[in-house]
A and B are shown apart, each in its own frame.
Chain A
């Protein structure tokens, strides 16, 4: 009877060894390595999606504040990173490394009052910063050609979605 138990014990040992061998197989190690690599790469991909800078929010905001009678003839938006030089120059409340769009526009307004109202809307609307109209923009009462510069924070996908 004791032999039966011993035989059973031996057979179980064999099963254990066979099952353990599965974990010592090369492909398990390969799977582990591959899984770690995939996870890292997916993390990088996720990071890129989340940090994707969007310009559309700027235009969405601009279309809310710009009256229909005002139109733009030129517009330039440049992605800018706050660097040390600009920090030393002062006149900024941005942090080092902060990203924003530096926007320069020219346009046409039928009259000065409408342009002034547009200026006030820009000042009041959250997001538009360092709004600055060229002094020449205020010289004519009618048929005003204006020039404007402003800054807009570079929003990333994760902030918008």
Chain B
């Protein structure tokens, strides 16, 4: 039979074999599984981090959109409402008054046949002011630097002399003053596709 020493060796061998079997069939799969789960958790946490960053960006985009809307409101207010250009008329009258000029404005509309008539027309205005020439130039500067999208398509000046008959609405002008006629082209919101 086996000696005591041999028994010990045999027992160790059996335990070693059992350990190997346990490792191969139980411990290694468990560790692999653990490794996979850990990997997935790390991946999920990275994904969550990415999503959080994106959500943060979304908040940033929302803030920027609010700012863009604010700018857009300002841009939109620079278009002349051709259906009722009240603000634009007020602007012209106030600036003319500030420059010490008398003013008369007439309007004409040019419709773009390719688009909806109501939305697409731009308004062309003919503005006549009377007064000192320098004041007319100041008024021109205000038009060009003002908040409105417009184009001075034509400009005419006529000096008032002794022979010039005073026009209705321009009483009080003196010899040396001028009549200035501005042909203005303004743009409607249709330019923005609205």
Chain A contact residues, CB within 8 Å of chain B: 2, 5-6, 8-9, 12-13, 15-16, 19-20, 22-23, 28, 31, 34-35, 38-42, 44-45, 48-49, 52-56, 59, 71-79
A20 to B137 Cα, complex, angstroms = 60
Given contacts A16-B44, A72-B157, contact A56 B141 (CB under 8 A): yes
Interface residues of B in 91-142 (CB under 8 A from A): 137, 140-141
Residue of A with least CB distance to B150? A52
A34 pairs with B65, CB closer than 8 A: yes
Given contacts A12-B48, A15-B48, A79-B154, contact A5 B69 (CB under 8 A): no
B37 pairs with A77, CB closer than 8 A: no
A-B contact count (CB 8 A): 116
A77 to B182 Cα, complex, angstroms = 9
9 pairs from A and B in contact (CB 8 Å cutoff):
A5-B37, A12-B48, A15-B48, A34-B65, A41-B192, A42-B71, A45-B78, A45-B149, A52-B144
Majority SS at the chain A contact face: helix
A6 pairs with B192, CB closer than 8 A: no
Residues of A within 8 A of B41 (CB): 5, 8-9, 12
Residues of A within 8 A of B22 (CB): none
Output the least CB separation between B15 and chain A (Å): 24
A19 to B161 Cα, complex, angstroms = 79
B174 at the interface (CB under 8 A from A): no
Output the least CB separation between A142 and chain B (Å): 19
Output the least CB separation between A77 and chain B (Å): 4
Residues of A within 8 A of B7 (CB): none
B61 pairs with A79, CB closer than 8 A: no
* Number of chain B residues close to chain A: CB under 8 A: 47
Output the least CB separation between A40 and chain B (Å): 8
A2 to B40 Cα, complex, angstroms = 13
A19 pairs with B51, CB closer than 8 A: yes
Output the least CB separation between A156 and chain B (Å): 10
Given A31-B65, A52-B151, A74-B158, output 11 extra A-B contacts at Cβ < 8 Å.
Answer: A2-B37, A19-B55, A38-B65, A44-B191, A45-B78, A48-B149, A54-B144, A56-B137, A72-B159, A74-B157, A77-B154
Chain B contact residues, CB within 8 Å of chain A: 30, 33-34, 37-38, 40-41, 44-45, 47-48, 51-52, 54-55, 58, 61-62, 64-65, 68-69, 71-72, 75, 78, 137, 140-141, 144, 149-159, 161, 187, 191-194
B149 pairs with A52, CB closer than 8 A: yes
A2 to B58 Cα, complex, angstroms = 36
Residues of A within 8 A of B44 (CB): 9, 12-13, 15-16
Residue of B with least CB distance to A41? B192
A55 pairs with B152, CB closer than 8 A: yes
A48 to B75 Cα, complex, angstroms = 10
Q: Which of B45, B52, B153 contacts A12 (CB 8 A)?
A: B45
A15 to B150 Cα, complex, angstroms = 54
Residues of A within 8 A of B68 (CB): 35, 38-39, 42
B151 pairs with A9, CB closer than 8 A: no
A39 to B69 Cα, complex, angstroms = 10
Output the least CB separation between A5 and chain B (Å): 4
Residues of B within 8 A of A42 (CB): 68, 71-72, 75
